[in-house]
Amino acid sequence: MVGCRKELQQAITTPESDARIEEITDAGVLNSRLALSNQSLEFAGPNGMVRQAMATMAKTATAPDCQSGCTRTISGNVNATLEVGSGEVVCVESGAVFNGGINMKGGALRICGTVNLQWISGNKGEIMITAGGKFSANDLSIQNGVKVTNYSNNFSLNSELSINGEFVNYGIITLNGINVNGQGAFTNGGEITVNNNVNVNHFFLNEGLLKIQKELSFNGNSTNTNNCRVIVGGNINSNSRVNNNGYMQSGNTLYINGKGAIYMTGGAYLKVKELFVNDGIYGGDNAYARVDVSGKITVNGSGVLDGKLDINDPAGISIMNGRKGPEVTVNGDKYIAATECNPGAGKNTYCSNSASFTLIANVAAPVVGGNKLSATDVRFRNGYAYVSYHQNGEAYAGALEVFNVSNPVRPSIVQLVTFKDAEFNGLGLDDSRLFAVGQRNPDKSKYKENNTRGAIIEKIPFSGDMLAGQNTFAEAPLPSFSGNSVLPANGSLWVVSGATGGGLFSLDYNSLSILTSQPDEKAKYLATNGNQNAFLTVAETEVHLKVFSNGGGMKDYKLDLQVTPLDGKNVVVMDDEYAYITLSKYGVAKVKLSDGSIVARYQHKGKGLTNGATIDPCFVYLANGADGLVVLQKKDLSLVGTVALPASSNLVAINNDMIFVASGTAGLQIIQVKKN
């Protein structure tokens, strides 16, 4: 460590009779603040998730019949011209056969029998072919103002379908071609096979299976969305924005021309032979979308690949003055879950997104001097949870609290120690002691040593699993205004204090004297995975993660990350390979410990700031302010879901399946998570 110095300020022992400290162990008094709940919490999945079933519309749509609501009925065999007037509901009953022309004048035609259409005219009304009906025509041109809704599998045309009005399909049909003209709207909630081309000039929505033998063209100013599966034998020509929330495939080339950007939500999949990008492909905000190319990828001067997008091509990508965003991965083989709409891809190395959350208890904040405190840290040991508190604002008051959580569905408070002139921001535990860092009113403490301006460390032995008596407490001043974080690790005791005079310090376990120091006014937080330690420093556009072991050197990684606001909570949690850093407004980043590379980022699209984080083998849990508890896949920081909570969340900690979430002066929520 650089800047080593020795300042042998002895710890100050607090006598048991010190009136500034009060201990409460009365179970009735303590647990009057704890209300057991056992209430299921709503776990909302991410917006824009891929549909889980093909032909969703068809499975939920209710076809009309000809048994009720008909104002006129056609039966038998009829060769005629049929006019459907305003307010009429004309029904071709089951078994009837109608041959002739139809003039739509504002009414509705229900086809439960057979209609062999010779011609159609008119510009207002709806034709509905029911599930048992049959419809055939040489050609069909749907005029503006006319809607044709098909529920039948017996729908045939000899020529292309021309849409100037609206066509909705829930059946399984084959067409020779489709032209969606300037006022036309096409919706498929069933299965359609098209033998030739599909041209879209206005509105396209696919909620089912659409198989096109030749080409698909999305032309200028059209509105286009795929929520299920589109398979094209030839080229796809995109000249207007396309929203792909499902699976799209081209057997040849996808041309993304000017204004033809493709936007893909997390879990969406695009598979093509060759890809030319003159506009953009944009991945999801919350989870990765995937693009597989078997041939060549060319990104030209105005082309963009951006967002959570995984591009897989054995030949790589040719960027011809185009741009690739920082979250885009190349040949990452991201896993896309298979659904009835989406064949999926990649190897499933993810945990299931299926989880449930139960509110076990609400805990009201403790009160000191008439003021509610806010929880600042939680640590677990031997079936007990230890919580630190401070008072918001300029006044000094704090507490240390002990919970028995050995029975995860019936937690209880067993001890509360309050401080009238000191408060705490962070905790650290070893086998025999609790360490708490924070600040104490310097006018009361009279500390002058170590250039302190109020920062302190408190050392308290355990008596069993409780905090020992006040006569065993030891306290010492630290440099700067506040102690932010403390880490007892592998025989060393590290602390971080912030602002002027702050930095990273190692202390003597017994005397709490400073052994070594690394001054840094941007010092924020300490974490460990048992083998390596991490020291976080934060400025608005300069974030450093400094990784070190007790006996080795320090790796200083300057990270391309931003933090706003600077006075928010920024923490680090670690596993064996990665550190997870909260960035307030800018969410969370996953950083590789071996080289400092940023492997994933997530920024929640809500109102809250990312204050706290905790991890288990599957998920990253974020205390995300007003957004509540945000749950991410640990592998790639894709969104699993959110749990709304009654107050802003500023701290989260997990032990097995028990989660503590702190909400400032609104207290704590103790939550149980079950992963399926």
Across 112-176, the runs of DSSP E, i.e. the strands, are 114-129, 134-137, 140-142, 146-150, 155-157, 161-163, 166-169, 172-175
Instruction: Give the model's confidence band at 60: pLDDT under 50 very low, under 70 low, under 90 confident, else very high.
Output: low
Instruction: Give the model's confidence band at 50: pLDDT under 50 very low, under 70 low, under 90 confident, else very high.
Output: very low
pLDDT of residue 12: 53
* Cβ-proximal residues to 62 (8 Å cutoff; 6+ apart), any chain: none
Q: What is the DSSP letter of 27?
A: H
- What average pLDDT is seen over the chain? 92
Structure-block tokens of residue 402? 């002990």
pLDDT of residue 56: 47
3-state class (DSSP) for residue 57: helix
Instruction: Give the model's confidence band at 9: pLDDT under 50 very low, under 70 low, under 90 confident, else very high.
Output: very low
Radius of gyration of the chain (CA): 33
pLDDT in tens, 531-577: 999 999 998 778 999 999 877 789 999 999 999 998 888 999 999 99
Cα–Cα distance for residue pair 395/391, rounded to 1 Å = 7
- Mean pLDDT value across residues 495-504: 91
Q: Return the ∠ at Cα 416 (arms to 413 and 418), rounded to 5°.
A: 155
Of the given ranges (163-172, 394-403, 455-464, 540-549), which has the lowest mean pLDDT?
540-549
Cα-based distances in Å from 436 to 19, 364, 496: 19, 22, 11
Cα–Cα distance for residue pair 137/114, rounded to 1 Å = 11
pLDDT in tens, 290-315: 999 999 999 988 899 999 999 999 98
Given a cut of 90, is residue 75 above it in pLDDT? yes
Structure-block tokens of residue 156? 């045939």
Residue ranges per domain, the chain?
242-340
pLDDT of residue 516: 93
pLDDT of residue 6: 38
**Residue 361 and residue 35 in contact, taking contact as beta carbons nearer than 8 Å:** yes
595-604 contact pairs (CB < 8 A, 24+): 595/557, 596/545, 596/547, 596/555, 596/557, 596/558, 596/559, 598/326, 598/559, 598/560, 598/561, 600/327, 600/636, 600/637, 601/327, 601/637, 602/286, 602/632, 602/637, 602/638, 602/639, 603/285, 604/630, 604/639
3-state class (DSSP) for residue 510: coil
Alpha helices, DSSP H only, in 220-342?
none
Share of the chain above pLDDT 70, in %: 95
What spatial distance separates the first Cα and last Cα of the chain, rounded to whole Å? 46
pTM of the model: 0.67
Cα–Cα distance for residue pair 523/604, rounded to 1 Å = 25
Given a cut of 60, is residue 475 above it in pLDDT? yes
Cα–Cα distance for residue pair 400/384, rounded to 1 Å = 13
Q: What is the DSSP letter of 48?
A: T
Given a cut of 50, is residue 2 above it in pLDDT? no
pLDDT of residue 58: 52
3-state class (DSSP) for residue 94: coil
Cis peptide before 442 (omega within 30 of 0): no
